[in-house]
Amino acid sequence: MTNPYESLATRIDARFGEQVSRVASTCRELTYEVDKDDLIKVATALRNEADFGFEMLVDVCGVDYLSYGSDEWTTNSATGTGFSRGVERPSVILDEADEFDARRFAVVYHLLSIQNNLRLRLRVFTGTSNPPIVKSVVDIWNGANWFEREAFDLYGILFEGHPDLRRILTDYGFIGHPFRKDFPIMGNVEVSYDADEGRVVYKPVTIESRTLVPRVIRDDNRYSADLRDVKKDG
């Protein structure tokens, strides 16, 4: 890490202490995790105080860590269930749980200090509440408005204090939040225009559920059974 970032890390640790914890990262910029109760205080200080000067919010994104770190790609044999979410959903729909794992949903803030030419990431976990909720930073960085609406639309994360928290990418009648890991790829409903009714209508999904199992088909004659026998005999 370059000297400017080492100096920034020193200033952050001295200023915020246990309010923030550094997250290991292979990227050049620093990443810190902050408790959602301390988000507004920390964010305000990072913007206003001369030691930091993060006057620009570049991006806000949601993250769903459901099943993070566990997958079938490490297997030595073919997958038994496939890699598609276009299959039958679990008997218990996780979106409707009374509460979530405390570290399932997170909001990540990407900050830029133009005056110091530095970048910083903040990560905030939403806790166990359903729906997941954190405080809005629109009053600190006005540019967060549409970013937070996007995270709400795609992940179902609520931002307390947001002036106009509405869907921004999906239709207002859309069911669910499509970037959640337990959202079926095929969706919940189909949307089409009905010429007879003169309006958009919603219908049950007609896509057939299936498991996508990767398969390699080799047409090269090097892999033909006859040639393998010849090589074996030779």
Give the pairing type, strands 133-135 and 158-160: parallel
**Tokens at 71, concatenated:** 């997958």
> Is 136 domain-assigned?
yes
Res 124: pLDDT: 97
Res 224: pLDDT: 57
Query: Which CATH number is 47's domain given?
Result: 3.30.460.80
pTM over 0.85: no
Res 202: pLDDT: 82
Query: Which residue ranges of the chain lie beneath pLDDT 70?
Result: 1-2, 70-96, 208-234
Q: What angle do CA 77, 211, 70 make, to 5 degrees?
A: 55
> Is 155 domain-assigned?
yes
If one counts the domains in the chain, the total is 1
One-letter amino acid of 55? E
> Is 207 domain-assigned?
no
Q: Which domain holds residue 46?
A: 3-183
Q: Which residue has the tokens 């010849």?
A: 230
Q: Which of 82, 19, 8, 108 lies closest to 50 in space, CA to CA?
A: 8
Res 13: pLDDT: 95
> Is 138 domain-assigned?
yes
Q: Which of 59, 70, 82, 62 lies closest to 179 in space, CA to CA?
A: 62
> Is 189 domain-assigned?
no
CA-CA-CA-CA torsion for 190, 158, 33, 46, nearest 10 degrees?
120
> Is 31 domain-assigned?
yes
Residue 101 has phi, psi (to 5 degrees) of -60, 140
> Is 196 domain-assigned?
no
At 64-122, the pLDDT tens digits run: 998 887 655 554 555 555 544 444 444 444 566 778 889 999 999 999 999 999 999 99
Q: Which of 141, 140, 144, 137 lies closest to 161 in space, CA to CA?
A: 137
